[in-house]
Structure 1
Amino acid sequence: MSQGVVSRPRTAAPALALLRAARPRQWVKNVLVLAAPTAAGVLGEPGSLLATLLVFVAFCLAASGAYLLNDAADVEADRLHPRKRHRPIAAGEVSVRTARVTGVALLILAPAVAALTGSWQSPAVVAGYVALTLSYTVWLKHQEVVDLIAVAGCHVIRAYAGAVAVDVPVTGWFLVVISLAALQLVVGKREAELRTQGVTGTRATLAAYSPAYLAQVRIMCSGAMIVTYCLWALNAHADLFYGLSIIPFLLLVLRHNLLVDRGRGEEPEELAARDRPTLLFAAGLIVLVALGIYT
């Protein structure tokens, strides 16, 4: 009986470590697939809701597969990092081989799940995301400036996939705001890493950047994004709620810039979950846009 008690952790611990290596906390980024269906007001339709959820699951699988392969490739560098050395693969809790096999399996499974929507476009977009993430792991992450665009592109593909899943048109306003927001988050993450780690971080391109350069790009993105959103809210939609949504949107952008300037932008998903002002501003934005859509 004691042998049975001892054997349980040996089977459960590796599975738990593999789950942590898949970074389920990062799945929050895939909420972007809800953006276009929500803006189009079709999430109340059962078919659209199911298609959106299937694409969301597909991106969770694809993202986890990409993280496993990326961490397996960076295992030696991660072991020298004060925080990343505790990741399951770098810490030796998950073998590199297991990470690679599981990662490949998840990347293959992701388009198959997206295909359940019944649309050929959804698995094609997910496959495009997989191709971009693999290119990033192998090559793009070593190319300065291009690495920023590649990561931002992954976020844009998520948002575009939601539109494809429910067959709604994607406007230029939507793509510009999403693209600029994604680039601001990515640049802010790199800037925070550079402020806290210096060029000794594990990212190969960190040495190519300076805090001043990244801050300049971040501010450029912020300004362009604010102007674009204001034009969309005031001209594309002559509605009071859309106009009012400019206020929490502006507060959200300014709050993010403040946190990055303090060196807290290294984990954007944690800011979204733990920073109270960010949560309040985001909630206000969502409520006002929802009122504009559904009233």
Structure 2
Amino acid sequence: MIILLLKTIRPKQWAKNVFVFTALVFDRKLLDLSAFLVTLAGAAIFSLIASAVYIFNDIADSESDKQHPTKKDRPIASGKLPLRAAWAAAIILLLIAFPLAFLLDPAFLAICLVYFILNMLYSTKLKHIPLIDVLVLASFYLLRVISGTTLIDVRRFSPWLYVVTSLF
């Protein structure tokens, strides 16, 4: 069951959370150990939340995924990972992530909550609305960058980086 959960939480997708480090890099604090560790913790928290979102999305799409040529082999769609275990894993990930986010910074928690809620809306409704779907996907990267600025004392960070990031 552990291997099935690992496939479901999609750790390969965690690389997207490197955007949390944007403020650290552009504020020239990459060698500041304290700032680096806080930012690393922030990226890890984003990874936990993203993994919970992947689980919820796979649960919501399990019926349609059963008809898809490749998605039918995903642990939830194939029935190999019981729904109860998937729900439990997603909830546990969030019960770990949100309190840790608060401990890092309440503003960071607020951004994490916006990221999570927007992801839930995207998975259920917004991905079916042309143009809105693309804007929401871009906002996920932007939220990662913004979250990184809440974690460290940023002194040199151009608002243009927000614009450029939203192009991803």
Same fold flag (TM > 0.5): yes
- What number of residue pairs does the alignment pair up? 167
Give the aligned residue type for 1:110.
A
Equivalent residue in structure 2 for 1:91, among 78, 87, 94: 78
In 2, the alpha carbon distance for the partners of 1:27 and 1:145 equals 25
Written as runs of structure 1 = structure 2, the 5 A alignment for 1:146-157 is 146-157=132-143
Q: Which has the higher helix share?
A: 1
Give the aligned residue type for 2:58.
D
Higher relative contact order (CA closer than 8 Å, sequence separation 6+): 2
Kindly name which structure, 1 or 2, has the bigger radius of gyration based on alpha carbons: 1
- The CA RMSD over aligned residues, in Å, is 1.5
Cα 1:108–1:149 shift into 2, 3 Å:
farther
* Post-superposition offset of 1:36: 1.5
In 2, the alpha carbon distance for the partners of 1:152 and 1:45 equals 29
* Post-superposition offset of 1:22: 0.5
* Post-superposition offset of 1:147: 1.4
What secondary structure sits across from 1:167 in the alignment?
A: coil
Identity between Structure 1 and Structure 2 (%): 35
Unaligned runs of 5+ in 2: none
Q: Please tell me whether the aligned partners of residues 66 and 107 of structure 1 are also in contact (alpha carbons under 8 angstroms).
A: no
* Post-superposition offset of 1:53: 0.9
In 2, the alpha carbon distance for the partners of 1:63 and 1:46 equals 25
In 2, the alpha carbon distance for the partners of 1:63 and 1:82 equals 24
Whether 1:168 aligns to 2:154 is: yes
Whether 1:82 aligns to 2:69 is: yes
Equivalent residue in structure 2 for 1:121, among 78, 102, 107: 107
Q: Please tell me whether the aligned partners of residues 79 and 90 of structure 1 are also in contact (alpha carbons under 8 angstroms).
A: yes
* Post-superposition offset of 1:112: 1.6
In 2, the alpha carbon distance for the partners of 1:70 and 1:93 equals 16
In 2, the alpha carbon distance for the partners of 1:111 and 1:92 equals 29
In 1, the alpha carbon distance for the partners of 2:79 and 2:137 equals 27
Deviations for 1:147-201, whole angstroms, at most 9, x for unmatched residues? 1111211111111111111131652210111001x2xxxxxxxxxxxxxxxxxxx
Cross-structure match for 1:131 = 117
Q: Please tell me whether the aligned partners of residues 111 and 124 of structure 1 are also in contact (alpha carbons under 8 angstroms).
A: no
In 1, the alpha carbon distance for the partners of 2:88 and 2:116 equals 15
* Post-superposition offset of 1:67: 0.2
Q: Please tell me whether the aligned partners of residues 33 and 52 of structure 1 are also in contact (alpha carbons under 8 angstroms).
A: yes
Unaligned runs of 5+ in 1: 1-13, 183-295
Whether 1:112 aligns to 2:105 is: no
Q: Under a length normalisation based on structure 1, what TM-score does the superposition of the two structures give?
A: 0.54
* Post-superposition offset of 1:111: 2.2
Whether 1:60 aligns to 2:50 is: no
Deviations for 1:105-129, whole angstroms, at most 9, x for unmatched residues? 3223222222332x22111111111
Whether 1:51 aligns to 2:38 is: yes
Cross-structure match for 2:16 = 29
Give the aligned residue type for 2:114.
G
Equivalent residue in structure 2 for 1:141, among 127, 132, 137: 127
What secondary structure sits across from 2:166 in the alignment?
A: helix
Q: Under a length normalisation based on structure 2, what TM-score does the superposition of the two structures give?
A: 0.92
- Structure 1 segments, 4+ long, off by >6 Å, are none
Cross-structure match for 1:16 = 3
